[in-house]
Structure 1
Amino acid sequence: MNTRSAEQNYIATLDLLRLAAALAVVFFHYFFRGAAAEGYLAQGYPLAAPFALYGYLGVNLFFLISGFVIAWSAENRSWDQFAIARFVRLYPGFLFCMTITFAVLTLAGTPLLPAPFSQYVANLSMFAPVFGQPFMDGVYWSIVLELVFYGWITLALFTGLFQKRKLELIFIWLAISALNEFFIGSGGARLLFLTEFGPFFAAGVLVHHIHSHGRSVPALLLLAAAFLISCGTLSVTQRWMLGHYGIAVSSANLVLANAVMHAALIGAVLLRHRVRASALTLALGGLTYPLYLLHQEIGYLAINAATPLVGKWIAALGCVVLMLFISWAIWRTCERPVQRLLRFWLGRVVDAGRTRFHRPSAGAQPAE
């Protein structure tokens, strides 16, 4: 499987933006959600909560970044190469972190965070609710949406539409998203077509398209439409915050935050040559996935245990530092080596199949 040079296929600023998104979600969980309606934390953080509540939007920022990265990854890959690359990127880290979470919750034996073995088995699929079990950690819901997005991209690559009709596909996707979110309200369509978060994925794809193929009126109009529709779909966030926590989030603040997120992605691409790729930026980007998967429920247990000893602020901030270190260690010693091994062996399978059926290589592929 061919690869580009490291300089061509790595944007350090995107890894820094990933870290910012992950930390935003961590701060949302530790300083707002943990002591809110669910009561996972014994003590709250009323001084930080009004700011931390916006950390929920870190998930939206992840989807923006994902749209860009996935479009880049897919551009010079066949559908099977893309599918393997996504599996290698997601599943090893998920398996490690989900297993660690299960082990910690089982040992803790907290009634508020039960973890029966049947739940662990169901979560091995990454689609635990399909088997009547909750996610091992609540953050996994966004991974399911990522997988649905990957499925659509794989289908578009298989049919050749991604290469030939990308902008038309995005137009249809945005139209379906707007119709469902603003008029129909179908839960099934929301999951199948990602209508709530689709505009964020689509905006990322469009930023990549403009970055790779130059500005065009259709692409710029679609990007503007994606931004406007995403502003509208944030009303779902408003209703969720009001229903779960009794907090009325300002529409103006959400639109402003959305504009900042879109600008941050564009800025990360424009400033890609200002930040040199290094072992540090690679590590900071690498640890974001384990950090996202691990931090919430284990973090609640750790903060509750440490608060009586060191106080709630040191407990929470210390937990952030600890989670960063543990996430780096998992990426460095477990996830990364397994990814390399899987990429090698599965790549050989794809190449063997291509040789057998006399299919030409798809050419160079970007790194993950």
Structure 2
Amino acid sequence: MIKRRLKELDLLRFLAALAVVIFHYAFRGYARGDMSTMPYPLLAEPAKYGYLGVELFFMISGFVILMTASNNNLKAFFISRVVRICPAFWVCCTLTFVITLAIGQPRYTADFYQYVMNMTFLSDALGVLPIDGVYWSLFAEIKFYLMISILLGFKQIEKIEAYLVAWLLISAVSEIFVMEKLRWVLVTDYAAYFIAGATFYVIWTKGFTITRVFLLVGALVLAGYTAIVWADVLETKYLTDYNNLIICSMIILFFIIFLMIATNKTSAIGALNWTALGALTYPLYLLHQMIGFMIFNIVYPAVNPHLLLWGTVALMIGGSYLIHKTIEVPIARSMKKFLSFSLIHVRG
């Protein structure tokens, strides 16, 4: 039985988003010289590990999505996901598109067809470039939502552990034998994080069993394997060295944090109100990358890089808050009412 809202997850979301922002601004943008003209050597070395914030996001998603699906109601789950994803995405995608047209050239370009495909969430399936590169993780999330929706549709969510075991085993086989189509469909590069998050939710509500321990151990091993493989790719891509011990240690830390959450060892942190930080995390993640790089490319080196980087971070956080409060919340509220009425009407 759910006893309280886990507000510590809101703090965790924000820290994950901030890690990704710093990864992009202090390392990724300048690393290949193809996105940002502004180097930031002061933070470049630790910042290059900030991409792991996305993996943490996926663990949070596994936990939260299973919590959302626990009422075994497909309609309620569908409405909650549409209302959560669409308003902020539409606003941030539109802003990024307009700003790209206004100040992005010659480095950045976008066209209306690309914009429409992004707005309809079809760009990944149709091979259309995203308006902002961060959208790739959203498409991975949507595949996870579809898997959960299928289980809800067939009234199988109560058997989630069996499906998590199957997903883990198939993902491991697909990774080892490089079965590309299956890897794309089942998001096997990141399946371990979704599986771990979902398993920690089950442990939080029902406690430990041998199956749940197996899922956690298996997910940790798969996460470590895929992370090391991906680090090799990043080393070639960014011409830098990654320390596998640091990467694996960070992943283990994520598991330890969730173990503490699942066993109610973080209630003191959860007693504080982190809701506002959690609420602006999604628009911050969607908004920051391309717009931030365009700002850097226009203003640097005229403005001090420290002022420029941290000022842009503050601008993105402030902008995300305004988007959430003035646009996302009202649109989400209206969409929820509309969808709830429409689906009841169709059912009737």
Where do 1:191-230 residues align within 5 Å?
191-230=184-223
Residues 115-138 of structure 1 show CA distances to partners (whole Å, capped at 9, x for unaligned) of 112211111122314344210000
Cα drift, residue 236 of structure 1: 2.9
- Of the candidates 86, 90, 109, which is equivalent to residue 114 of structure 1? 109
Shift of 1:330: 0.3
Alignment correspondent of 2:100: 105
1:50 aligned residue:
45
Taking the aligned partners of 1:100 and 1:93, their CA distance within structure 2 comes to 11
Misfit runs of 4+, over 6 Å: none
User: Aligned match of 1:168 in 162, 170, 175?
Assistant: 162
Does the 8 Å CA contact 2:175/2:189 hold for their aligned counterparts? yes
Q: Which of 338, 341, 349 is equivalent to 2:331?
A: 338
Which of 25, 28, 34 does residue 20 from structure 2 map onto? 25
CA contact (8 A) 1:127 1:144 kept: no
**Where does 1:287-302 land on structure 2 (aligned, <5 Å)?**
287-302=280-295
| Matching of residues 163-312 of structure 1 within 5 Å | 163=158, 165-182=159-176, 184-269=177-262, 270-275=264-269, 281-312=274-305
Alpha-carbon contact 1:290-1:327 (below 8 Å) kept? yes
Q: Is the 8 A contact 2:73 2:152 kept in 1?
A: yes
* Corresponding residue for residue 133 of structure 1: 128
2:72/2:155 contact within 8 Å kept:
no
Match of 1:15 among 10, 19, 32: 10
Paired residues of 2:97 and 2:110 also in contact (CA < 8 A):
yes
Counterpart CA distance in 1 for 2:87 and 2:239 is 38
Equivalent residues of 2:124, 2:136 under 8 A apart: no
**1:173 partner SS:** helix
Alpha-carbon contact 1:200-1:230 (below 8 Å) kept: yes
Please tell me the residue identity of whatever aligns with 1:199: A
Alpha-carbon shift at residue 353 of structure 1 (Å):
4.8
Q: Give a deviation string over 1:177-207, Cα, whole Å, max 9, x none.
A: 111112x112211110111100100000000
Where do 1:82-97 residues align within 5 Å? 82-97=77-92
Larger deviation, residues 340-349 vs 142-151: 340-349
* Distance apart, 1:290 and its partner CA: 0.4
CA distance in 2, matches of 1:109, 1:324: 21
Supply the AA of the counterpart residue of 1:108.
I
User: In structure 2, what is the Cα distance between the partners aligned to 1:109 and 1:48?
Assistant: 25
CA drift of 1:233 comes to: 1.1
Unaligned stretches of 5+ residues in structure 1: 357-368
2:23–2:50 contact (8 Å) kept in structure 1: yes
1:75 & 1:208 partners in 2: Cα distance? 10
Tell me: CA distance 1:132–1:197, structure 2 relative to 1, closer, same or farther (3 Å): closer
Aligned to 1:359: none
Structure 1, residues 91-135: CA drift from partner, whole Å, max 9, x if none? 111100000000111111412110112211111122314344210
What is the CA–CA distance in structure 2 between the aligned matches of 1:131 and 1:88, rounded to whole Å? Answer: 24
Pair 1:109–1:170, CA change in 2 (3 A): closer
The root-mean-square deviation of aligned C-alpha atoms, in Å, is 1.9
- Distance in 1 separating the partners of 2:14 and 2:258: 13
Structure 1 residue 224: deviation in Å?
Answer: 1.5
1:275 Cα offset (Å): 3.6
Change (3 A) 1:109 1:341: same
Change (3 A) 1:329 1:221: same
CA contact (8 A) 1:17 1:268 kept: no
C-alpha contact 1:81 1:350 (8 A) present in aligned 2: no
The Cα shift of 1:308 comes to: 3.0
Contact 2:183 2:189 survives alignment (8 Å): yes
Does residue 155 of the first structure (1) align with residue 132 of the second (2)?
no
Name the amino acid aligned to 2:67.
Answer: W
* Distance in structure 1 (CA, Å) of the matches to 2:258 and 2:341: 34
CA contact (8 A) 2:195 2:219 kept: yes
Whole-Å Cα distance in 2 between the matches of residues 284 and 186 of structure 1?
A: 39
* Number of aligned residue pairs: 347
Name stretches of at least 5 consecutive residues in structure 2 with no aligned partner.
none
Q: Counterpart of 1:348?
A: 341
What is the CA–CA distance in structure 2 between the aligned matches of 1:241 and 1:79, rounded to whole Å? 38
CA-to-aligned-CA distance 1:233-271 (integer Å, 9 cap, x gap): 112321221221122312211110101112223334534
In the TM superposition, residue 277 of structure 1 has moved relative to its aligned partner by: 6.2
Decide which moves more: 55-64 or 105-114: 105-114
Q: Find the partner of 1:142 among 137, 145, 166.
A: 137
Q: TM-score, normalised by structure 1?
A: 0.90
Q: Which amino acid aligns with 1:121?
A: V
